[in-house]
Amino acid sequence: DIQAAIKETSKYSVKSSDYLTGDSEKDSEIVSDLEQGLYRKRMLSYGGLLKQKHKILNLDDAEDGNLINTSDEDKTTDEEE
């Protein structure tokens, strides 16, 4: 199912195994640093076909984009026309 695959691949920007060490004191410090550093950040990236479509449609950046006017009704790709 393509929808399930998209959800799974876009679920995490990093996995906990990438930064947890097994030392609870050090892990607590790392998680605290990540929490402070990522506060109010939208961690989002596109790859492959999604990256191509994002560029073709000239969509707003997730971090700095317009979150008020989100209607994309007029935006289509050449493939959709």
Residues 62/30, Cβ–Cβ less than 8 Å: no
Alpha-carbon distance of 17 to 71, in angstroms, equals: 38
Q: pTM to 2 decimals?
A: 0.46
One digit per residue, the tens of pLDDT, for the chain of length 81 reads 777 776 666 666 677 888 889 999 999 999 999 889 888 877 777 788 888 887 888 777 666 666 566 565 555 556 655
Would you list the domain boundaries of the chain? 21-66
In this prediction, residue 76 carries a pLDDT of 58
Strand, helix or coil at 34?
helix
In this prediction, residue 27 carries a pLDDT of 92
- List the helix and strand counts (H, then E) for the chain: 3, 0
